[in-house]
């Protein structure tokens, strides 16, 4: 039987917690292995389900992923199969990032359309247009894309929509292309900068990553090096919000506070005490929690991946808060579960909710619809009176390493059953 969490709410958290490596950075480093002749080493990898899924796909294509020790992997990306396994691909949407390096190395890639999911439609038009701009031919047949180009050619490409994985995929494709690529309206997330820094260390020539305009001068070959995964800003931010929601004082270690400037501003506006240090942050309760208007946005705006936990936190603020989810059209429906726990949330349209607080939350049986909503519900369970059973925790395990053990250490009453 699938496992679940039981959580007894109402306990304060205390002490220190360490942040793991960023899932959304490590996944792209795994994909980049395909660009190399020799194996690359990746450190500070979170031991989460999504990493297992991307490893399975790399291995199904003829590569090899060796788990050296906790958090450390060696990856032979010399794959021979240009077809991304249609059974495995839908299990992890980030598999789309593999298309860029496979196309660059094998001259062709075939992959299934990823389709929509619980958080939204999730189109891939910017990937396809990007490949076309680099000179690839695209064929679509039933549910598959066939993309081919004997040698990709550098070009100017403007993203119609800012896309994180889109930027990473086209950047990975352009690294070994002939000539110069200029990407405009690129995403600026720290995971992209980190990937570019790694590729540059290996001999690539990428300028401007972390800004909307990225310039890539194609190189012949990359030299295999070690990638150290940056700390997970979403996990760090979630811990800070958990502390604020439970009125606790905790210290969050091994993180980069600069990646969450907007969150610190918002928490301080709410009345939460935030002390920033070089690689750690201390959170302490203020007098009372004030409401807030939150609009999710591409980096450096408020991350959609923190929308769920901050929504839960705002159920505890005195007054009305508004959440405007601008990135995904399906990412607010999970708040119906919060209402079942006693929150007062009205949905204006799929992109906007109004939260009236403070609400006394009550524990109950709930299900996690997606990875981040799972943490929003877990936050609610930690605040709630009584016991919560949180099901479908595969979603939480996709991105948070053994979360229950780590939260137990800072005082949470949470068990995996």
Prior bond of 300 cis (ω within 30°) = yes
Task: Measure the CA–CA gap between 251 and 253, rounded to whole angstroms.
Answer: 6
- Tell me how far, at minimum, the Cβ of 189 lies from ligand EPU, in Å: 6
- 390 counts as binding ligand EPU under rule CB under 6 A: no
Stretch that binds ligand EPU, among 4-12, 122-130, 222-230, 243-251 (CB under 6 A): 122-130
> For ligand EPU, which is the closer residue by CB, 94 or 292?
94
Strands 40-43 and 273-276: unpaired
Please pick, from the candidates 65, 372, 390, 410, the single residue that binds ligand EPU as defined by CB under 6 A.
Answer: 372
- Give the CA radius of gyration of the chain: 21
Per CB under 6 A, 166 contacts ligand EPU: yes
Among 3, 161, 205, 277, binds ligand EPU (CB under 6 A): 161
Residue 387 is a binding residue for ligand EPU (CB under 6 A): no
Closer by beta carbon to ligand EPU, 16 or else 125: 125
**Nearest-approach distance from CB 303 to ligand EPU, in angstroms:** 6
Looking at the Cβ atoms of 121 and 184, the one nearer to ligand EPU is: 121
Task: Report residue 341 CA to chain centroid gap.
Answer: 26
Q: Which of 67, 122, 180, 344 binds ligand EPU (CB under 6 A)?
A: 122
Q: Confirm or reject binding of residue 94 to ligand EPU (CB under 6 A).
A: yes
Span interacting with ligand EPU, options 144-152, 272-280, 299-307, 402-410, rule CB under 6 A: 299-307
The single residue among 304, 307, 392, 395 that binds ligand EPU, judged by CB under 6 A, is: 304
Nearer residue to ligand EPU within complex by CB, 317 or 379: 379
Q: What is the smallest separation between the CB atom of 397 and ligand EPU, expressed in angstroms? A: 13
What's the CA gap between 331 and 295, in Å, rounded?
Answer: 13
Estimate the crossing angle of helix 190-201 against helix 164-174, to 10 degrees: 10
Give the N- to C-terminal CA distance of the chain in Å, as an integer: 10
The verdict on 229 binding ligand EPU (CB under 6 A) reads: no
* Residue 117 annotated in active site: yes
- What is d(CA 255, CA 67) in angstroms, rounded to the nearest whole number? 24
Return the range that interacts with ligand EPU (CB under 6 A); candidates 141-149, 162-170, 209-217, 408-416.
162-170
Residue 24 touches ligand EPU, criterion: CB under 6 A: yes
Which of 107, 123, 135, 203 binds ligand EPU (CB under 6 A)? It is 123
> Which residues, numbered 308-367, are part of the site for ligand EPU (CB under 6 A)?
327-328
Determine contact, residues 103/149, Cβ cutoff 8 Å.
yes
Is residue 164 within the footprint of ligand EPU (CB under 6 A)?
yes
Minimum Å gap between C-beta 14 and ligand EPU is 28
Cite the active site residues. Answer: 117
State the residues that interact with ligand EPU by CB under 6 A.
Answer: 24, 27, 94, 120-127, 161, 163-166, 187, 303-305, 327-328, 371-372, 399
């Amino acid at each position: 039987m699938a496992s679940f969490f039981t959580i007894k709410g109402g306990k304060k958290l205390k002490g220190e917690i360490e942040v793991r490596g960023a899932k959304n950075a490590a996944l792209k480093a795994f994909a980049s292995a395909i660009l190399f002749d020799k194996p690359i080493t990746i450190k500070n990898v979170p031991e989460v389900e999504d990493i297992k899924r991307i490893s399975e796909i790399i291995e199904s294509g003829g590569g090899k992923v060796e788990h050296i020790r906790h958090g450390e992997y060696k990856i032979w990306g010399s794959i021979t199969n240009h077809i991304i396994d249609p059974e495995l691909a839908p299990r992890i949407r980030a598999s789309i990032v593999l298309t860029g390096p496979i196309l660059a190395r094998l001259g062709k890639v075939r992959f299934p359309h990823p389709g929509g999911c619980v958080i939204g439609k999730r189109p891939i038009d910017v990937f396809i247009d990007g490949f076309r701009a680099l000179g690839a031919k695209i064929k679509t047949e039933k549910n598959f894309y066939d993309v081919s180009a004997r040698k990709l050619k550098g070009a100017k490409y403007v993203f119609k929509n800012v896309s994180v994985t889109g930027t990473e995929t086209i950047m990975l494709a352009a690294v070994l292309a002939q000539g110069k690529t200029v990407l405009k309206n690129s995403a600026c997330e720290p995971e992209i900068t980190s990937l570019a820094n790694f590729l540059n260390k290996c001999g690539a020539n990428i300028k401007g990553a972390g800004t909307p305009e990225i310039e890539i001068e194609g190189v012949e070959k990359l030299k295999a090096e070690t990638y150290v995964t940056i700390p997970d800003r979403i996990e760090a931010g979630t811990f800070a919000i958990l502390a604020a929601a439970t009125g606790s004082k905790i210290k969050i270690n091994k993180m980069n506070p600069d990646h969450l400037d907007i969150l610190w501003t918002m928490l301080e506006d709410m009345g939460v005490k935030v002390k920033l240090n070089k690689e750690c942050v201390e959170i302490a309760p203020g007098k009372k929690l004030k409401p807030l208007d939150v609009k999710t946005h591409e980096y450096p705006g408020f991350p959609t991946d923190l929308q769920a936990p901050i929504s839960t936190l705002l159920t505890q603020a005195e007054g009305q808060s508004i959440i405007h989810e601008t990135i995904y059209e399906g990412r607010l429906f999970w708040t119906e579960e919060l209402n079942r726990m006693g929150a007062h949330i009205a949905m204006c349209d799929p992109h906007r909710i109004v939260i009236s607080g403070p609400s006394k939350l009550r524990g109950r049986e709930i299900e996690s619809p997606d990875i981040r909503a799972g943490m929003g519900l877990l936050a609610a369970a930690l605040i709630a009176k009584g016991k919560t059973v949180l099901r479908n925790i595969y979603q939480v395990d996709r991105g948070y390493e053994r979360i229950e053990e780590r939260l137990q250490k800072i005082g949470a009453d949470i068990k995996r059953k």
